Amino acid sequence: MLTGIALIIGSVWGAWRLKKFKFDLKSLLLGIYGIVGFHLFYFLGLRNAPVFEANLINYLWPLLIVLLAPLITKQKQNLKSYLFISCGFIGLLIALEVFTKSNLQIERGHLFSLVGAIVWSTYSLLLPRSKHSAWDNSIVCFLSGVICLMIAAINHSWLLPTTEQWPWLVYVGLCPLGLSFYLWEFGARQVSASHLGNLSYLTPLLSMFFLSLAAKSSPSLSFWIGFAIVLLSSFLSTRGRRNH
């Protein structure tokens, strides 16, 4: 429910362009597929699997963006791009200490998280085909928010925010779930899949870092080693792409 409210709040960013909005059903469905589909399977993953494991699988989408780009956008990738992407992914695994877990079991939540990663990666690659402008995303955010509220009502998870929660909810709606979607659309239309995928590896690491701060626990040495590998891989991939 909170996600639905936040998405509706985030739709105000493009309200100034409502009069210029040109309806296109395919573009509208693509946006709803990406935003609603991603959040639905992401939260299902978190509910049905250990949080860190679900988060890790969900953040396979940067890798999937690069791997699926030749199939969806026909954009050719050079060997260096795949090499640096692979290094970044390995760095991500090291940071999350996946290699040290001996009792990793596949649960339903893992599959939900994987579906969420596939949804977001394919949505990002299909965005350049959308006939809507990035600012038209306000309509998509609003409708996606309404759909999320309907899902919450069907699942009987209707909990109104408290007075203390509203300021935080407004912030989340305007920035992480609002402005970020507009910026992502701009990026997906202007930046190559290799750049988009590599730079996206910073997202899960920063997410884990702030989660550690919120939990008042310091990141492990493995986290910082993996973080350094991801930073280096992102830099080298971007530089290699420019030289190419």
- The whole-number pLDDT of residue 170 equals 85
pLDDT band at 62 (very low <50, low <70, confident <90, very high): confident
Q: How far apart are CA 241 and CA 235, in angstroms?
A: 10
Asked whether the beta carbons of 88 and 198 are under 8 A apart, the reply is yes
Tokens of 167: 């300021």
Comparing 170 with 236, which gets the higher pLDDT?
170
Task: Work out the average pLDDT over 180-188.
Answer: 77
Q: What is the pLDDT of residue 119?
A: 96
Helix 79-95 and helix 193-200, axial crossing angle in degrees, nearest 10: 10
The set of residues, in sequence order, having a beta carbon less than 8 Å from that of 142 and lying 6+ positions away, is 7, 8, 11
Where residue 147 falls among pLDDT bands split at 50, 70, 90? very high
Q: Are 179 and 13 in contact, with CB atoms under 8 Å apart?
A: yes
Q: Check residue 36 and give its pLDDT.
A: 93
Q: Please, what is the average pLDDT of the chain?
A: 78
Residue pair 83/2 in contact (Cβ under 8 Å)? The answer is no
What pLDDT does 116 receive? 94
Mean pLDDT of 4-23: 77
Structure-model confidence comparison of residues 24 and 145, the more confident one: 145
Q: Is the pLDDT of residue 242 over 60?
A: no
- Top-ranked range on mean pLDDT: pick from 31-45, 120-134, 187-201: 31-45
Which of 82-86, 134-138, 173-177 has the highest mean predicted lDDT (pLDDT)? 82-86
